[in-house]
Amino acid sequence: MSGLVVVLAVLGATSPWWSRGPVPRSPALPAAVVTPTASDPVLLLDLVEVALSTGASLPRALAAVGSAARGAAGEHLSRASASLLLGASWASAWAGSAAGLSDVAEVLEASWTTGSAPGPALRARADELRRRRRARARAAAGALGVRLVLPLGLCFLPAFVLLGLVPMVLSLAAGLFGG
């Protein structure tokens, strides 16, 4: 008899969830937090820095990274490289490039116009973008913890009551009433 009461209590407590159908998915983490892609600005900054550290010229490094990156970012890097080799201005070489390449173009502009070493500036910008990415990931993790409090409380509290307290109360009631 007490087993039947427990089963009915569990079914009654969970009926709002299984009668509604599937639960809608929560919004995913921002794409910048999840995985790096070929158009990831940090990855591109690192690749350009490595290519330049081998002694390659700026247009040659851009062409090498462009052929390695592929996709839209790779095409824009290769096009900018070819434009710079043909004597185009910095602004016209990068005109119409993808949004992820703005960091690469901004960092390398000073090197192209003044002749300064691009390595430290590339590393500094990549580190800055990594710090921002970590801050966004920490903020998303903190927000996730806050958003999970209510669903976890609504799930675990009834489960604790039904699996921990109800059987104990039923056994005490059976002992008191001689059942």
pTM across the whole model: 0.64
The per-residue pLDDT for 14 is 59
Q: Give pLDDT, residue 151.
A: 87
Considering the domain boundaries, does residue 89 fall inside one?
yes
Residue 87 lies in a domain: yes
Q: What count of residues does the chain have?
A: 179
Q: What is residue 98's predicted lDDT score, i.e. its pLDDT?
A: 79
Q: How far is residue 51's CA from residue 66's CA, in Å, rounded to a whole number?
A: 11
Q: Note whether residue 25 is domain-resident.
A: no
In a domain, 164, yes or no: no
Range of the domain at 93: 36-134
Question: Two tokens at 113?
Answer: 């116009």
> 26-65 b/e with 16+ CB inside 10 Å = b?
eeeeeebeeeeebbbbbbbbbbbbebbeeebebbbbbbbb
Q: How many domains does the chain have?
A: 1
Per-residue pLDDT of the chain (179 residues; tens, 9 = 90+): 656 656 666 566 556 544 455 544 545 544 444 444 557 899 999 999 999 999 999 999 999 999 998 788 999 999 999 999 999 999 999 998 877 799 999 999 999 999 899 999 999 999 999 999 999 999 999 999 889 888 888 888 888 899 999 999 999 998 888 76
The answer to whether 133 and 33 have CB atoms below 8 angstroms apart is yes
- Whether residue 44 is contained in a domain is answered as yes
In-domain check, residue 91: yes
By CB neighbour count within 10 A (0-12 exposed, 13-18 middle, 19+ buried), where does 98 fall?
Answer: middle
